[in-house]
């Protein structure tokens, strides 16, 4: 979605989720061709998903939920204009009221990361299908619980890693899988985001009257309201998210791992810190390099906030470095740069995108619901949870200051202290992660 940067600058990010229940499971009172959706969290990607959903034939958005009443009321009016055939759009600040409605088929969850697991599990238990924003979970333990919930309640769950629906990403990975690049020794993933930088350090205040801050915190630790930790900037604090690694990293690492047909890494180490903006309000690093050891290849993650001068003169991307050439892939397209020393060198000029990944991702989700075919999803919860786990491992290596190793058989870190500290986040304020 090439206009995401412009979109986020216009609209600060807030909680969001859309709920989708399959047409075949709805009351016969409703037109069986119409899928009725609710959105929880209606800023940022929550609103982008809402607009994309409306472009799918016979989809209606009938309810919105957000803890920020000022945003919620604005979005309601915009939505009524976008779908004039829908006479009423209901608004809520408590997502559970949406889950109680039998006439809603599915939900989108675009809330801050620390809410994803609870809302997705609750939605599945209520019989809704779910489109959950990335990263799937805010810890490895949450990701595991989300998979179990999907299986227990037999719901269709799509993770919002929309690049999986975009054709030029598929074409690039097909080329990687063809073997034409030769042996691939290293995969480089980088994310240099000049428009993303933390906010200034400011004093705590009382939350505005139109924000239900207690609900926004949810299972996160109780603390005073601070504008530099709220809306879009929640992602720079460990209570709620994981910085660039879990924001952009799940998109980019996804294709690196998919291209190499890899599972979880054998070991991970990381170095970084608040090197560029130590005076600003953030906990996650503004500069981070992580090294993942896989069987037969290495993966390097390189991230920097506030600057755009990334590898290969691109601000983000994935590079598959093979003996015959290097394939470079990002949202602007893909190309292959030849290796001059190779006998079987390969070179391909830039192949630009020709479609809209978000809209295609939504068509895929709705079709999976209508056909009752979860195997047709482009990014199932299993796939989304896998790459969220890989991203979490990079952050855990950084936070623990250790080279960490993963036991794939036992599904846990070999270091008991690391596993105890980081496998799952502690919940607060009376919330509990359901034991599935």
Q: Is residue 259 part of a domain?
A: yes
What would the pLDDT profile of 132-157 be if each residue is shown by its tens digit?
Answer: 999 999 999 999 999 999 999 999 99
The residues, ordered by sequence, that sit 6+ positions from 88 with a Cβ below 8 Å of its Cβ are 62
User: What average pLDDT does the segment 148-177 reach?
Assistant: 98
What would the pLDDT profile of 30-62 be if each residue is shown by its tens digit?
Answer: 345 899 999 999 999 999 999 999 999 999 999
pLDDT at 5: 40
pLDDT at 32: 56
How many domains does one find in the chain? 1
What would the pLDDT profile of 386-411 be if each residue is shown by its tens digit?
Answer: 999 999 999 999 999 999 999 999 99
User: What average pLDDT does the segment 321-336 reach?
Assistant: 98
Q: Is residue 310 part of a domain?
A: yes
- Residue pair 339/345 in contact by the 8 Å Cβ criterion: yes
Identify the band that residue 74 occupies on the pLDDT scale cut at 50, 70 and 90.
Answer: very high
Q: Is residue 239 part of a domain?
A: yes
User: What average pLDDT does the segment 85-97 reach?
Assistant: 94
Q: What whole-number distance in Å separates Cα of residue 423 and Cα of residue 420?
A: 6
Write out the H or E segment, with its range, that includes residue 153.
helix 140-153
Q: What whole-number distance in Å separates Cα of residue 230 and Cα of residue 236?
A: 10
pLDDT at 87: 85
What's 270's domain CATH number? Answer: 3.30.360.10
Q: Is residue 221 part of a domain?
A: yes
pTM score above 0.75: yes
Distances (CA, A) of 89 to 16, 80, 85, 86, 340: 16, 7, 11, 7, 60
Q: Is residue 224 part of a domain?
A: yes
Q: Is residue 345 part of a domain?
A: yes
Identify the band that residue 11 occupies on the pLDDT scale cut at 50, 70 and 90.
Answer: very low
Tell which residue, 422, 407, 383, has the closest CA to residue 150: 383
Distances (CA, A) of 318 to 149, 254, 301: 32, 10, 9
Q: What whole-number distance in Å separates Cα of residue 421 and Cα of residue 432?
A: 17
Q: Is residue 423 part of a domain?
A: no
Q: What whole-number distance in Å separates Cα of residue 298 and Cα of residue 291?
A: 7
Would you state the structure tokens that stand for residue 12, as one six-digit string? 């600060």
Q: Mean pLDDT score of the chain, rounded to an integer? A: 92
Number of H helices, E strands in the chain: 13, 19
Q: What whole-number distance in Å separates Cα of residue 169 and Cα of residue 188?
A: 16
pLDDT at 17: 33
Write out the H or E segment, with its range, that includes residue 8.
helix 4-10
Strand 90-92 to strand 59-65: parallel, antiparallel, or no bridges (unpaired)? parallel
Q: Is residue 258 part of a domain?
A: yes
What would the pLDDT profile of 272-300 be if each residue is shown by its tens digit?
Answer: 999 999 999 999 999 999 999 999 999 99
pLDDT at 33: 85
Identify the band that residue 424 occupies on the pLDDT scale cut at 50, 70 and 90.
Answer: very high
For residue 236, give its domain range: 167-351
């Amino acid at each position: 979605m090439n206009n995401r940067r412009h979109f986020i600058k216009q609209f600060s990010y807030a909680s969001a989720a859309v709920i989708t229940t399959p047409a075949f499971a709805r009351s016969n009172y409703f037109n069986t061709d119409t899928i009725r959706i609710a959105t929880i969290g209606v800023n940022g990607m929550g609103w982008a998903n809402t607009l994309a959903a409306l472009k799918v034939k016979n989809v209606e958005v009938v309810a919105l939920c957000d803890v920020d009443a000022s945003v919620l009321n604005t979005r309601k009016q915009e939505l009524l204009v976008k779908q004039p055939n829908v006479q009423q759009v209901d608004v809520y600040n408590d997502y559970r009221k949406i889950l109680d409605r039998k006439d809603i088929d599915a939900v989108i969850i675009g809330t801050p990361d620390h809410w994803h697991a609870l809302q997705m599990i609750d939605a599945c238990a209520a019989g809704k299908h779910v489109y959950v924003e990335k990263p799937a979970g805010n810890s490895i333990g949450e990701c595991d619980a989300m998979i179990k919930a999907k299986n227990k309640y037999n719901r269709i769950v799509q993770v919002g890693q929309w690049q999986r629906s975009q054709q030029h990403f598929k074409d690039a990975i097909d080329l990687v899988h063809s073997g034409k690049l030769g042996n691939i020794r290293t995969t480089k993933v980088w994310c240099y985001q000049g428009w993303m930088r933390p906010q200034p350090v400011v004093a705590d205040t009382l939350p505005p009257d139109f924000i239900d801050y207690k609900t926004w915190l949810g299972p996160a630790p109780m603390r005073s309201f601070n504008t530099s930790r709220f809306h879009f900037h929640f992602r720079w604090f460990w209570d709620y998210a994981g910085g660039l690694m879990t924001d952009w990293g799940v998109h980019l690492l996804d294709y690196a791992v998919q291209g190499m047909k890899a599972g979880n890494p054998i070991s991970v180490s990381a170095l970084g810190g608040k090197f560029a903006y130590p005076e600003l309000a953030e906990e996650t690093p503004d500069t981070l390099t992580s090294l993942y050891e896989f069987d037969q290849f290495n993966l390097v993650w390189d991230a920097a906030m506030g600057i755009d001068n990334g590898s290969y003169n691109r601000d983000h991307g994935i590079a598959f470095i093979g003996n015959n050439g290097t394939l470079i892939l990002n949202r602007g397209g893909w190309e292959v740069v030849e290796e001059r020393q190779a006998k079987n060198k390969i070179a391909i000029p830039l192949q630009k995108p020709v479609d809209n990944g978000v809209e295609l991702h939504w068509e895929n989700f709705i079709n999976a619901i209508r056909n009752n075919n979860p195997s047709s999803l482009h990014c199932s919860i299993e796939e989304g949870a896998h790459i969220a786990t890989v991203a979490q491992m990079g952050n855990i290596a950084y936070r623990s200051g250790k080279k960490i190793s993963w036991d794939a058989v036992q599904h846990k870190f070999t270091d008991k202290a690391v596993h105890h500290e980081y496998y799952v986040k502690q919940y607060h304020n009376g919330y509990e992660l359901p034991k599935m």
